[in-house]
Structure 1
Amino acid sequence: MLSEFKTLGLCHTLLSSISELGYQTPTEVQTEAIPHALAGRDLLVGAQTGTGKTAAFALPIIQSLAQGTDERRLRALIVVPTRELAQQVYESFHELSSDTNLVTVAAYGGTSIRVQTSRLAKGCDILIATPGRLLDHLYCGNITLKHLSTLVFDEADRMLDMGFLPDIKRILKRCKPERQTMFFSATFDKKIKNMAYEILNDPVEIQVSPSNSTATTVEQLVYPVDRKRKAELLAFLIGSRNWQQVLVFTKTKQGSDQLAKELALDGIKAASINGDKSQGARQKALDDFKNGKVRALIATDVAARGLDIEKLEQVVNFDMPYKPEDYVHRIGRTGRAGQIGIAISLMSPNEEDSLLAIERLIDTKLPQEWLKGFEPSLDTEMNNEKPPRKRGRNSEKQKMKARLKIHANRGKKN
């Protein structure tokens, strides 16, 4: 099986490493990207999470640096949007480079800058960093980018969403123009492509899955339900279906904390992870979830890109996301690397516009199912939201009334 990796141009040392890690065959993004990356080309890559994209840039970087000088200096920089993703990418580099003498360091907020400064003072070849903490180290003189040969922006679309464009421009000013740059993004809109082509030099463009598409290994389903009964329905799903591990997304930090408390009252061990939590608390919640001490991990979108949970089967959108693109990233936590997963969205009547925006983005009509005992009502007070806007004769309220009538008639027939 490793012969397929060998045809990509990888050296014997890396082939041994990936064999020990259990890699069998390269993924599509690895097959497409690795040869061009080894050749030193700039890359613009569109790939969903769970496609093996980290190894697609990590393997060429490790091979290139391992064959170079033994002098310890920063030659490869990977910029990522979140702490969780920084940890994930760091672990991948650490594992893949275990048979080399390369040193990798991760730098991100929420942890002691002094500890990171001490590690950087000893020298490193590869740095994985979030934009803000990277600039902190640059301004303090802890690192220099004058020897940088490879620059990677991972989850670039997320960085733009989080307002990191000014930081990205500051980082680029510190880099020499003679470098290899790789740009990875799950989605490609006009703003993303414009920025990419300002940064990249004659790039090879690779798209391994349709833009804004969802993984074919993920079953998607929508349950309409009153907003105030969402927590009750979630607890019912976890208990009745014996889910031992479910990742749940909420819109707000406060909502994630509140939902974790409500599930605990129902006897379901839950933990929340959001931007208000310290890095230690976030890491503990994630570790407890991975180790089975917690059944439900409640997260805001800050965690949508950075979490890597092996064989995660269930993802629930407790709230429909603010941006339809975030739906793609949320459900990308399951159905990874060929595994089967299910993504369930709990939709209150006033979230139908959000659903329509998602369906337009992914060009797919999502199936809806009404669960007996949790059918949505037309009581706007129950949903604590403004009444739906009327759209001529076919207002959202009229549509919901029609659905209720149909559902009632079906009940009579049964």
Structure 2
Amino acid sequence: MVFKKLHVDILEALERLHIETPTPFQTSSIPVIKSGANVFCIAPKDSGKTTTLIITTLQKLKCKAEGNAPRAMVIVENKDEVLALYDAFLKFTKYTSLRVYASYDELHIDVQKSEIYLGIDILITTPKTIQKLFLTNGVSVAALKICSVDDAKFLIQQNTFTSLTTTAESIKKCQYVVYADALHPKVKSLQNFFMEGARIVKQ
């Protein structure tokens, strides 16, 4: 079973949340993501994509806080998605030292900068907000290990697509994982920007 090869804190969280058996998508995707490759994860709703994102992020960070700059970043469409994913992460990180931060357009940028400065491990944000943080030197990506995009269909919109690709230009070395229900041509074109050599896991 895939779940047996994960950090003990993740296994304890899975047991606490009564998640006993990986979905077919999780069985095929988690080992590929753990390998460090850039990955397009394509699967329908309710196949376990969000749980996969959380598990592999925690695995990458070894379930412990370190330094002050974020080591993982997750990009979603809007405030509602940020807060929903933030709550989902907290269920897994409850008994770890990991610091998760919710960043979105409606929260004043100066507030975000001051709170991020105090130290975080996982940044959940939107394309527009992360671009604004970069432009105002509000966040460092020097320690970033993994960047994920959840439910990437929103990147079909040109403005969000541009915000993401512009942001990626500032990130020197990082693993990228993009989750979507379908591999839209616009999403697939990310391989021309920062998804070089990306593998595709599809259900």
Q: Do both proteins adopt the same fold according to a TM-score greater than 0.5, normalized to the shorter chain?
A: yes
Distance 1:66 1:11 in 2: 7
CA RMSD of aligned residues (A): 2.0
Distance 2:16 2:151 in 1: 27
SS of the residue 1:74 aligns to: coil
Equivalent positions of 1:4-403 (< 5 A) are: 5-6=3-4, 9-66=5-62, 70-161=66-157, 163-176=159-172, 178-196=173-191, 198-208=193-203
Give the Å deviation of 1:157: 2.1
Residues 198, 162 of structure 1: CA spacing in aligned structure 2 closer, same or farther, 3 A cutoff? closer
SS of the residue 1:70 aligns to: coil
Distance 1:168 1:71 in 2: 25
Give the Å deviation of 1:189: 2.7
Distance 1:114 1:142 in 2: 8
Q: Contact 2:147–2:175 (CA<8 Å) still a contact in 1?
A: yes
SS of the residue 1:16 aligns to: helix
Q: Contact 2:2–2:31 (CA<8 Å) still a contact in 1?
A: no
Give the Å deviation of 1:89: 1.4
Residues 147, 53 of structure 1: CA spacing in aligned structure 2 closer, same or farther, 3 A cutoff? same
Provide the residue aligned with 1:370 in structure 2: none
Distance 2:193 2:158 in 1: 19
% same residue:
23
Give the Å deviation of 1:106: 1.0
Q: Contact 2:165–2:193 (CA<8 Å) still a contact in 1?
A: no
Distance 1:168 1:187 in 2: 19
Instruction: Report the structure number with the largest CA radius of gyration.
Output: 1
Residues 186, 112 of structure 1: CA spacing in aligned structure 2 closer, same or farther, 3 A cutoff? same
Distance 2:126 2:182 in 1: 20
What TM-score, normalized to structure 2? Answer: 0.90
Give the Å deviation of 1:206: 0.9
What TM-score, normalized to structure 1? Answer: 0.46
Distance 2:200 2:111 in 1: 38
Q: Contact 2:74–2:150 (CA<8 Å) still a contact in 1?
A: yes
Distance 1:53 1:104 in 2: 19
Distance 1:190 1:61 in 2: 26
Q: Contact 1:44–1:205 (CA<8 Å) still a contact in 2?
A: yes
Give the Å deviation of 1:74: 1.1
SS of the residue 1:66 aligns to: coil
Distance 2:158 2:91 in 1: 29
| Matched residue type, 2:3 | F
* Matched length: 203
Residues 30, 19 of structure 1: CA spacing in aligned structure 2 closer, same or farther, 3 A cutoff? same
| Matched residue type, 2:69 | R
Residues 68, 41 of structure 1: CA spacing in aligned structure 2 closer, same or farther, 3 A cutoff? farther
